[in-house]
Structure 1
Amino acid sequence: MPAGVSWPRYLKMFGASVLSMFAGAQVVHQYYRPDLTIPEVPPKPGELRTELFGLKERETDSATPKQ
């Protein structure tokens, strides 16, 4: 048996760890409240708040040759 413990003790610890993992995930899910709605029309570029705005500036800067 792993770690030299009995099967009942091992299963209790495994069950407790799985339950605490599920409970933690549920708490985080309730705290952050993800937006699970699916928009009908895809957003236009720049409307998503998750876009990296600095990345666009770096791409345009690197596309123009520096003198």
Structure 2
Amino acid sequence: MPGRWSVGQYVALCFFSISSMMLGASMTHNYYKPDLTIPAEPVKPNSVLKKRTVAIVPPRGARDDDESSNH
């Protein structure tokens, strides 16, 4: 077996690795609780991708050149 492990150690490693992945996936799924319901009518692609406007805000502490020369 790889790494000079016995068959029992290798099986235990595989079992605990897979169990850990399943537990993590289950916890993540329960935390975010996705909506898995199937809608009665299919969703149209254009209704999902609506145009959105984004406001551009300068980062905190950023100043214009005119404003910094007055201080």
Q: What TM-score does the superposition give when structure 2 sets the normalisation length?
A: 0.60
Q: Match of 2:2?
A: 2
Identify, as 1 or 2, the structure richer in helix. 1
Q: Match of 1:35?
A: 35
- Aligned residue pairs total 51
RMSD: 1.9
Whole-angstrom CA distance in 2 between matches of 1:52 and 1:16? 45
Q: After superposition, give the CA deviation of every residue in 1:32-64 in whole Å (9 maximum; x if it has no partner).
A: 111111111123422x3xx3747xxxxxxxxxx
Whole-angstrom CA distance in 1 between matches of 2:10 and 2:22? 18
Identity %: 39
| Structure having the higher Rg | 2
Matches for 1:1-67 after TM superposition, within 5 Å: 1-44=1-44, 45-46=46-47, 48=48, 51=49, 53=51
Structure 2, unaligned runs of 5 or more:
53-71
Structure 1, unaligned runs of 5 or more:
55-67
List, as ranges, runs of 4+ consecutive aligned residues in structure 1 with deviation greater than 4 Å: none
Q: What TM-score does the superposition give when structure 1 sets the normalisation length?
A: 0.63
